[in-house]
Structures are given as C-alpha cells and as structure tokens.
C-alpha cells in the first residue's frame, strides 16, 4: 500500500518549490524596501539578533535572567511595531517582509516533527487523483450522485442498488485480507459502469492506495509502444499497471486484438491475480460464449475463474440525461 514513488516525488518537489518561492518573494520585497526605506531594514536586522541577545542574556547567569529576557521580548515587540508602522507609512502592507508560507502549521515543510502535516496529506491525495488517470472526473462521478431512479424497472433498480452497495463495501473492505479482489462489470453502454468504478477509485485512493485507471485501448497501446517503439514513458506506464494496488481496466473488448495484445492482457491479469492484486474490469461483452469468441481460453478462464461478475441493467443513462437536459 501507499502511493506510487512518482506521486510522492512530485509532492515533495512541489513543497520544496513552494518553500523556495516564499523565501524568494520575501527577499525580493526586502530588496525593494531597502531602496525606498533603508531604516526599516535596520530594524529588521536588530530583530534578527533577538535569538543571539537571549543567548547572551542567559550566559550572564541565572540571576535576574527572567527579567532580562522579558526586557528583550518587550524591545522586540516594540521594534516589530515600529517596523510595521514604517512599512505602512511607506505604502506597503504591514507583513510585506515576512516569508509567507501557504501552510502556517508546517511552513510548507510538510511535516510537524515526525508527523505528516494535513496539508501534505491533502496534496498527496490530490496528486494521486491526478495520477490515477481519472483526474477531474472523480468529482463528478461519485457514489452520492449515482441516482437509482434512472433505472425505471423495479427489478433493474433493485439489481443496481445491490451493485451500488457492493461497490461501497468494496471500498470499505479494500486492504483487508478477506475481500473480493476482482470485479467484472458487465453491461451495455451508459449504464453507469465507469461512473461506479470512478467512485470506487476515489474511495480507494482516499484510503492511501495507489490506483490506476485506464481503458483497454490505452493499456494495449502502451504495451505496443513499449514493445515496438521502445518508448520509455510507455514502459513506465505499463509497469504501473502491474505495480498499483488497484487496476481499473475499462471497456474490455473495445481494444485492438491480435496475438501480441492478447498475450499482454493475459500476462497482466495472470501476474496480478498471482500476486493477489486487485482489479476491476468493465466490459460490454455480456456472455461467456462471446468472450470465448473474442479472447483466447487463457484470458477467458482467468475472467471467469477469478472475477466476481456484476451485470448492469436498465436503459442508457447518458441518453436519459440528455433528454432531461433538452426538456429544460
């Protein structure tokens, strides 16, 4: 478990850049002020000596130390006020010379001591969203806005409701030893397969797992680019298909099929299943006989033997939504 190394690296770099940018901005303000109002910088210099002054005060013995430190603090406060006043008079904001970090809990370090700051946790989740291949869609296709009333037939609705509940349970069970590892979502277009898998992806990412979503077409293309065009980036991508905690392979059956692509898919499924890694596959191939026609036996037997199938039913929700939109 845990996000991929690329996600962590990207967030660390972002934090480092945030810190340097904040310091640089404060430095440029300082340069600007030093030309217009050098007196302010004198005060600032005196302020930066405070630490040293306290240190010196402590060297002079414990007798009356508290009072000496109090006096330094008082002077410090006065200097600060004077500085802010001067800045204001010169037409600058009072805090113009301060380094402004975006998080005042960790000063953009990302950690408070050994604990990761909430700002870095958030940044990691966001980066993992982007990195999953789903990006913005995650906001629009959620469990919450999965509307069962689109399935007008009562039996259909009951069936879809049980799929929705199962999907939620898949998220809450993810990472536990006893769980359904692999799901197969079957059904014609527009019934909500991608919507539900997106909602699952978000839930699993929120639990700090590395999730990769991609269409069968893209997955197969990445393998081809890696193999025939020696494309390094494609190689990184295909490695992620193997390494991630949850792989969502969307629209199986729409990809270009030949013996090479079939062996890639088989290898991917087989390797992940043997490693006990989870997968969700969606497809509109709705019968085993069709599956057998389209794929070689090894893939079919993996799909039938290791995936729990769920049949999506009803009428095309995309069309229904479009009609509703047109009515407005």
Ligand X SMILES: Nc1ncnc2c1ncn2[C@@H]1O[C@H](COP(=O)(O)OP(=O)(O)O)[C@@H](O)[C@H]1O
Binding site for ligand X (CB under 6 A): 141, 145-147, 150, 187, 189-195, 317-318, 321
The least distance separating ligand X from the CB of residue 306, rounded to whole angstroms, comes to: 22
Q: How far is the CB of 146 from ligand X (least distance, A)?
A: 5
| Contact (CB, 8 A) for 261 and 255 | yes
Q: Report the nearest approach of Zn ion to the CB of residue 208 (Å).
A: 17
| Contact flag: residue 194 with Mg ion (CB under 5 A) | yes
* Least distance between ligand X and beta carbon 122 (Å): 25
Q: Which does 83 bind (CB under 5 to 8 A by kind): ligand X, Zn ion, Mg ion, none?
A: none
Residues that bind Zn ion (CB under 5 A): 103, 105-106, 117, 119
Among Zn ion, ligand X, Mg ion, none, the one that 119 touches (CB under a kind-dependent 5 to 8 A) is: Zn ion
CB under 8 Å to 168, separation ≥6 — which residues?
Answer: 143, 203
Of residues 195, 191, 186, 140, the one with CA closest to residue 319? 191
Decide which of Mg ion, Zn ion, ligand X, none touches 195; Cβ closer than 5 to 8 Å per partner kind.
ligand X
DSSP 148-206: GGG--SHHHHHHHHHHHHHHHHHHHHTTSSSS--EEEEE--TTSSHHHHHHHHHHHHHH
In angstroms, give the least distance from the CB of 19 to Zn ion: 11
By beta-carbon proximity to Mg ion, the closer residue of 18 and 193 is 193
Nearer to ligand X, 157 or 221 (CB): 157
Residue nearest to Mg ion (CB): 194
Q: Which does 192 bind (CB under 5 to 8 A by kind): ligand X, Zn ion, Mg ion, none?
A: ligand X
**Closer Cβ to Zn ion, 125 or 148, answer by number:** 125
Per partner kind, with CB cut-offs from 5 to 8 A, the member of Zn ion, ligand X, Mg ion, none near residue 147 is: ligand X
Least separation in angstroms between CB 152 and ligand X: 12
Any contact of residue 261 with Mg ion (CB under 5 A)? no
Q: Is 215 in the site for Mg ion (CB under 5 A)?
A: no
Give the tokens for residue 64: 């009356």
**Residue with smallest beta-carbon separation from ligand X:** 192
| Cα–Cα dist 142/154, whole Å | 22
Among 137, 194, 138, 186, smallest CA distance to 159 is for 186
Minimal distance, residue 211 CB to Mg ion, in Å = 16
CA distances from 81 to 42, 87, 102, 315, 323 (A): 14, 10, 24, 69, 64
Cα distance between residue 43 and residue 30, in whole Å: 12
CB of 40 or CB of 247, closer to Mg ion: 247
The bridge status of strand 115-116 relative to strand 111-112 is antiparallel
Helix, coil or strand: residue 219:
helix
d(CA 96, CA 84) in angstroms, rounded, equals 9
* Residue 191 interaction partner, one of ligand X, Zn ion, Mg ion, none, beta carbon < 5-8 Å per kind: ligand X
The phi, psi pair for 112, rounded to 5°, reads -110, 100
Contacts to Mg ion by CB under 5 A: 193-194
């Amino acid at each position: 478990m845990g996000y991929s190394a690329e996600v962590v690296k990207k967030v660390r770099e972002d934090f480092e850049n945030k810190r340097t940018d904040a310091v640089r901005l404060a430095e440029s303000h300082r340069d600007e002020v030093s030309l217009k109002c050098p007196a302010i910088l004198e005060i600032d210099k005196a302020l930066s000596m405070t630490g040293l002054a306290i240190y010196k005060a402590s060297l002079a013995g414990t007798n009356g130390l508290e009072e000496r430190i109090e006096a330094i603090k008082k002077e410090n406060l006065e200097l600060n006020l004077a500085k802010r006043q001067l800045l204001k008079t010169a037409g600058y904001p009072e805090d113009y010379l301060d380094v402004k970090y975006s998080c005042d809990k960790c000063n953009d370090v990302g950690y408070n001591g050994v604990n990761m700051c909430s700002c870095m946790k958030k940044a990691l989740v966001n980066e993992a969203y982007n990195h999953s291949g789903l990006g913005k869609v995650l906001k629009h296709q959620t469990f919450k806005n999965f509307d069962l009333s689109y399935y007008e037939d009562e039996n259909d609705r009951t069936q879809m409701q049980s799929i929705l509940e199962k999907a939620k349970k898949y998220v809450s069970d993810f990472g536990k030893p006893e769980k359904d590892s692999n799901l197969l979502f079957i059904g014609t277009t527009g019934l909500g397969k991608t919507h539900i898998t997106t909602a699952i992806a978000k839930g699993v990412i929120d639990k700090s797992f590395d999730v990769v979503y991609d269409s069968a077409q893209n997955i197969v293309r990445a393998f081809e680019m890696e193999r025939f065009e020696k494309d390094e980036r494609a190689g990184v991508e295909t490695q992620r298909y193997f390494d991630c905690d949850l792989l969502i392979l969307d629209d199986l059956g729409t990809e270009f099929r030949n013996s090479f692509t079939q062996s890639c898919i088989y290898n991917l499924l087989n390797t992940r299943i043997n490693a006990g890694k989870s997968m969700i596959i969606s497809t509109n191939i709705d019968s085993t006989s069709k599956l057998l026609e389209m794929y070689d036996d090894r893939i079919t037997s993996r799909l039938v033997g290791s995936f729990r199938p769920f049949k999506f039913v009803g009428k095309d929700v995309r069309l229904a939504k479009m009609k509703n939109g047109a009515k407005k």
